[in-house]
Structure 1
Amino acid sequence: MKCFRCFQWSPDYDKQAATEELADIMNYCIQMADKMGINIEEAIMAKIKKNAEKYPVEKSYGSSKKYTEL
C-alpha cells in the first residue's frame, strides 16, 4: 500500500486506501459534531467566510504568505 500521508504530493497513491481513510475521517467528524451539537454545514460556511476575510483574493492569490504577512 502506498503511503496515505504522501498522496497529496504524488500522483502515485493508492486511491482505495485514501478513499477508506477519508471515509473514516468523515465518519469521526460527523460523530464528533453530533455529540457536540455542532451543525457541520453552518460550521463549514462560517469557516469559509472567515478564511475569505483573512485571505482576500486580491492579496493572497498565488501567494503562500500567512494572512498576517499579506
Structure 2
Amino acid sequence: MDTLSKSISIEANELLELSQWEETKDFRELSNELADVFIYCILLAEYAELDIKKIIQDKLAINAEKYPEVMGCECNE
C-alpha cells in the first residue's frame, strides 16, 4: 500500500509540473499524467477492497453538505 500511495503522490506532482509556470495547453501530456494518477488510485482502491463508485458518491455527498454553494449538484444519484 505504501508503494501505491507514493506512486500517486509522484504522479500527481508530475501532473502539477505541467502548470508550474504557466497553464498547460498540451492536453495529450495532461491526459497521460492524469491517467497515471487514476491508474494508481484504482490499484490502491482495489488493494484496499474499496468500492470506488461508493466512496466517490459518499465523498460527494459529504462535500455537498459542507460546501453547498460550491457543489451545486445532486450528488446522491
**Off by >6 Å, runs of 4+ in structure 1:** none
1:34 paired residue number: 46
Q: Normalization by structure 1: what TM-score?
A: 0.66
Aligned-residue sequence identity (percent) comes to 33
1:56, distance to aligned residue in structure 2 (A): 1.8
1:14-25 superposed matches below 5 A: 14-25=26-37
Structure 2 unaligned spans of 5+: 1-16, 72-77
Matched residue type, 2:32: E
Q: Distance in 1 between matches of 2:52 and 2:38?
A: 11
Partner of 1:56: 68
TM-score by length of 2: 0.60
Task: Compare relative contact order (CA 8 Å, sep 6+) and give the higher one, 1 or 2.
Answer: 2
Match in the other structure for 1:13: 25
1:14 CA drift (Å)? 1.2
Structure 2 counterpart SS, 1:27: helix
Gap runs ≥5 in structure 1 = 62-70
| AA aligned opposite 2:59 | K
Residue correspondences, number? 54
Bigger CA radius of gyration: 1
